[in-house]
Amino acid sequence: MDYVIAATGRRPNVGKLGLEALNLAQDEKGVPIVNAHTMQTSIPHIFLAGDASNLLPLLHEANDQGRIAGDNAARFPHVVPGFRHSALSIVFTSPQIAMVGETYRNLQERAKQQAKACDCFAVGEVSFEDQGRSRVIGQNKGLLRVYGELGTGRFLGAEMIAPAAEHLAHLLAWAHQSEMTVAQMLSLPFYHPVVEEGLRTALRDLNANLELGSAIEDRCMECGVGD
């Protein structure tokens, strides 16, 4: 691919709310900064939720944030961290793009902060070029990468440009929120022939890279039955 046209990005519509009169701390784009766990702004009794905050501008995030902000405003000054779902973003392109849990960039930054660059997580991947069901439906393009924690084998996150990414991402988000290990995910059922068999290949690759399972020796078996 030679070119990428990125036509995304939207700004919160906070222009006419008179926020400037409050002197709230703002980010470099003029959006009020809130604590992601409590939805508290720099002024303790003012809470913000949804696109008006500096957090992810997505509908399900706005729902979570609204509940946390409302609860904390109602019980102020007893402010507590609220429940957040696992991160999940989907872009309805063709093929679709999706992210679940922690991104590769997040994991790398965290590893650097802990001064043990890149030795605390492992990566597994699958290309959909040779994936059985994806080939049959003529959508055999894309890549899925999954991340897991060394030592515990806990599933940390995933990023993909893939066929049926919206569905793969939901399965992975449910596993992430359930704090499953990669081995537990691999013990769940996979039908044949489905795109999810590609996910199983990526998880097997990850389990091997976590030194918790054997490496995939016969890639051919992964195109179809593979069990």
Ligand X SMILES: Cc1cc2nc3c(=O)[nH]c(=O)nc-3n(C[C@H](O)[C@H](O)[C@H](O)COP(=O)(O)OP(=O)(O)OC[C@H]3O[C@@H](n4cnc5c(N)ncnc54)[C@H](O)[C@@H]3O)c2cc1C
The mark string for 51-90 relative to ligand X (x by CB under 6 A, - otherwise) is xx----xxxx-x----------------------------
**CA 110/CA 103 separation, integer angstroms:** 11
| Residue 190 C-beta: closest distance to ligand X, Å | 28
d(CA 81, CA 40): 10
CB contact at 8 A, 106 and 99 = no
- SS3 per-residue string spanning 61-110: HHHHHHHHHHHHHHHCCCCCCCCCCCCEEEECCCCEEEEEECCHHHHHHH
Nearer to ligand X by C-beta: 62 or 171?
Answer: 62
Q: Under rule CB under 6 A, which residues in 148-167 are in contact with ligand X?
A: none
Residue 60 CB, shortest distance to ligand X, in Å, is 6
Does the footprint of ligand X cover residue 21 (CB under 6 A)?
A: no
Binding ligand X by CB under 6 A: which of 8, 13, 93, 94? Answer: 13
Question: To 5 degrees, how large is the angle CA 89–CA 13–CA 90?
Answer: 10
Q: Helix, strand, or coil here: 129?
A: coil
| Closest CB to ligand X among residues 17, 136 | 17
Query: In angstroms, what is the minimal distance from the CB of 43 to ligand X?
Result: 19
The site for ligand X, by CB under 6 A, has a size of 12
The one among 11, 17, 117, 225 contacting ligand X by CB under 6 A: 17
Those residues with Cβ within 8 angstroms of residue 49's Cβ, 6 or more apart along the chain or in another chain: 39, 62, 65, 66, 68, 69, 70
**Which residue of this chain has its Cβ atom nearest to ligand X in the complex?**
50
* Closest approach of ligand X to the CB of residue 181, in Å: 29
What's CA 145's distance to the chain center, in Å? 11
Q: Which residues bind ligand X (CB under 6 A)?
A: 10, 13, 16-17, 50-52, 57-60, 62
